[in-house]
Amino acid sequence: MQQELQARLHEVERLRTEQVERARYAADLAQRRYMRVDPDNRLVADTLEADWNQKLRALEEAQLEYQQQHQKDSMTVEEELRRRLHTLATDFPRLWRDPNTPDRERKRLAHLLLQDVTLIKREQLLIHIRFPGGATRTLELPGPRRVTVTPRSVITEVDRLLDDHSPEAIANILNARGSVSGYGKPFTGRMINRVKVKYGLKSRFERLQKEC
């Protein structure tokens, strides 16, 4: 967005600069003509001097108009940029959550609103955000969850206990022995079921069917 507005500004400024340069060239040419005239030829000298003065006034007017329009355009572009940023900030949540918004557009939105982002992984995740213009913000989020692994000895024991016990009973047996899950918490029947599914252990019902 800012690059687009700046490109428009540069193009308009290039055209106005060319206009000033043409006026300067015309003034320089009129000056050279006046300087080459025979001083004794007053009629021609007065005409060329008048033309030179006219070209100088045209140059001053072109330079003044350039400066005024340059300031006006800068203010217009800044106002347009603020308006677009305000609109974008208002619509940002809607556009970001819209399932029809492509990922490339989400990246473009992020680039427009963020200067850079720094991630620092500690016990908690620190996110330092710098916005265009120098404003900064720091977010503090919970650290990434650690991968939990059920001890192999517990898996083996669950497999053995499934021959004669339900998941709830196995959880009570393991808790009574002081065993803990990969999360470091006491077992529950639901946790035993998850271990059974995750590691492909046969249920007590399946074992009883096999015995029959």
Whether residue 182 is found in the same domain as residue 134: no
Structure tokens at 92: 């940002």
Residues 159 and 134 in one domain: no
**Of 124, 144, 164, the domain-final residue:** 144
Higher pLDDT, 174 or 83: 174
pTM of structure: 0.35
Task: Tell me the two tokens of residue 69.
Answer: 């329009």
Q: What's 121's DSSP letter? A: E
Same domain, 54 and 119: no
Domain count, the chain: 3
Q: What is the pLDDT of residue 25?
A: 93
Helix ranges, the chain (H)? 2-36, 42-97, 103-113, 152-161, 167-176, 189-198, 204-211
Asked, for residue 160, whether it belongs to a domain, the answer is yes
Q: Is residue 172 part of a domain?
A: yes
- Same-domain pairing of 128 and 64: no
Q: How far apart are alpha carbons 164 and 170 in whole angstroms? A: 9
Question: Helix or strand or coil: residue 1?
Answer: coil
pLDDT, tens digit (0-9, with 9 covering 90-100), for 121-178 = 777 788 888 877 778 888 887 766 655 677 888 889 989 898 888 889 999 999 998 8
Domain of residue 59: give its range.
Answer: 2-97
Q: Quick one: 66 and 45 in the same domain?
A: yes
Instruction: Please indicate, yes or no, whether residues 37 and 82 belong to a single structural domain of this protein.
Output: yes
pLDDT of residue 85: 62
Query: Residues 134, 178: one domain?
Result: no
How far, CA to CA in Å, does 139 sit from each of 17, 32, 120, 134?
47, 67, 11, 16
Q: Is residue 105 part of a domain?
A: no
Same domain, 52 and 121: no
Would you state the pLDDT for residue 166? 87
For residue 11, pLDDT over 80 is answered with no
Nearest to 150 by CA among 198, 201, 190: 198
Query: How are beta strands 124-130 and 116-121 bridged, if at all?
Result: antiparallel
